[in-house]
Amino acid sequence: MAEVHHFAYGVTTPLLAYVMSVVGSLLGLMCTARARAADGTRRASWLGLAALSIGGTGIWVMHFIAMLGFRVPGAQIRYDVPLTLLSAFIAMAVVGVGVFTVGFGGAHMAPLLSGGVVTGIGVASMHYTGMAAMHTSAHVGYNAGLVVLSVLIAMVAATAALWFTVRVRGAWATAGAALIMGVAVSGMHYTGMAAMRVELHGGGPVPDGARPFDFLLPLVVIISLLATVLLVLVAMSPTEDELRDETLRSAASGSASGSARGAAPSAPESRPPLITPRGSPNNPPRERS
């Protein structure tokens, strides 16, 4: 069994991974809060942005920041670029399924559980797809029991996250929920990493693929910066209550204008003539007796 380092740079990578998971989760929760106050395409747009935030930044970026600290002494590590990008798509797609399920289905038990199970399995699939994208000269295996545990953690974490998206209100509650989601995502990741079993086979050939710091680091930095900028922009946008008030005012204004257009025109007032007609010459007016 080879020695495996999950924290090659100390607490730097797990701490940064957790911070970005919280940032992505916070941005996603803020988007779903605004989705609750919107309808139709506006709601779908907010939910789509939430899926990108939670799946892309809160889960995928967290995973690969943590992977920057992964080392196996004596083994070369490279990454399959298409498979790595596929793992990002999986993360955003499955979170999208979950948030749309509860976003339009409400906080009822059926959509919450179904969305949580699908999203949890998808998040675990993203994790192990990302691990499959890691090419190494060593042999990598997994402990089946810890793999199952990591999937269960992912499903519980996903269900809790979806519950937060439809229930949590207020700045402090949203921030607290994001901190909890960060712990859950990080816990799932490191449980999956603990399931790894690595064996060295001597000096094997250098595997194909991109080196971590040549490929992952620029990609992670760009996505992290975009997520931070989006977080600031969404924080400056109207809140859920403000959007709901605006929707109610628009509905009331439309109702009032419709009533005014549908009202029947009033009959003109009957006024006395301004000039009293005089009698004709052939029929002079009668004299009063």
Q: Which of 200, 70, 83, 209 has its CA nearest to residue 137? A: 200
Instruction: Look over the chain and give the mean of its residue pLDDT values, rounded to a whole number.
Output: 83
Mean predicted confidence (pLDDT) in 19-34? 91
CA atoms within a 13 Å half-sphere pointing along the CA-CB vector of 5: 15
Mean pLDDT lowest among 134-143, 166-175, 264-273: 264-273
Pairing of strands 134-136, 196-199: unpaired
Percentage of the chain exceeding pLDDT 70:
81
Stated as kind and residue range, the H or E segment containing 18 is: helix 12-36
Stated as kind and residue range, the H or E segment containing 127 is: helix 109-132
Mean pLDDT lowest among 52-56, 127-131, 240-244: 240-244
Name the 3-class secondary structure at 255.
helix
Q: How far is CA 9 from the centre of its chain?
A: 30
Q: Is the pLDDT of residue 118 over 50?
A: yes
Give me the residue label for tokens 């498979």.
Answer: 83
Q: Is the pLDDT of residue 268 over 60?
A: no
The pLDDT, as a whole number, for residue 289 is: 42
Question: pLDDT band at residue 275, thresholds of 50, 70 and 90?
Answer: very low
Beta strands in 122-249 (DSSP E): 134-136, 139-142, 196-199
Measure CA of the first residue to CA of the last residue in the chain; give whole Å: 137
Q: Is the pLDDT of residue 214 over 60?
A: yes
Question: pLDDT band at residue 230, thresholds of 50, 70 and 90?
Answer: confident
| Interacting residues of 3 by C-beta distance below 8 A, sequence separation 6+ | 72, 73
Structure confidence by residue, pLDDT tens digits, 123-170: 999 999 999 999 888 888 899 999 999 999 999 999 998 898 888 888
Give me the residue label for tokens 């439809």.
Answer: 166
Structure confidence by residue, pLDDT tens digits, 215-227: 888 888 888 888 8
What CA–CA distances, in Å, run from 155 to 81, 118, 168, 181, 201? 27, 8, 19, 12, 35
Mean predicted confidence (pLDDT) in 247-274? 55
Mean pLDDT lowest among 79-83, 142-146, 154-158, 272-276: 272-276
The model's pTM:
0.79
Q: How far apart are CA 70 and CA 13, in angstroms?
A: 9
Q: Is the pLDDT of residue 108 over 50?
A: yes
Name the 3-class secondary structure at 51.
helix
